[in-house]
Amino acid sequence: MVKLTRGSGASGPSSSLGIMRFFDVDTGGPKMSPEFVVIVAVMVIVVILLIKNLNLV
C-alpha cells in the first residue's frame, strides 16, 4: 500500500510527476545521437532502393 504524505515536496497531478520521473531515469542502455539514428535510417532506405532497382529481390 502506498502512503501519501503532504509536505513541501513537488506539487502537481500525480500523473505528470510520474512522467517526469520516468524520463529522468537513466536506464544504462546504448547512447545514440538523433543524427546517428537518422543517418542509419537513410542508409537502410538507400540500400533497399538499390536492391529493388537492381532486381535482386
Residue-wise pLDDT for 4-44, tens only, equals 555 555 555 555 655 666 666 667 778 889 999 999 999 99
CB hemisphere CA count around 36 (13 angstroms): 4
User: Which 3 state secondary structure label does DSSP give 47?
Assistant: helix
At 26, the amino acid letter reads D
Residue 1 has pLDDT above 80, yes or no: no
Q: What letter does residue 4 receive in the DSSP assignment?
A: P
pTM for this one? Answer: 0.50
Q: What is the pLDDT of residue 46?
A: 95
Residue 45 has pLDDT above 90, yes or no: yes
At 15, the amino acid letter reads S
Q: What letter does residue 32 receive in the DSSP assignment?
A: -
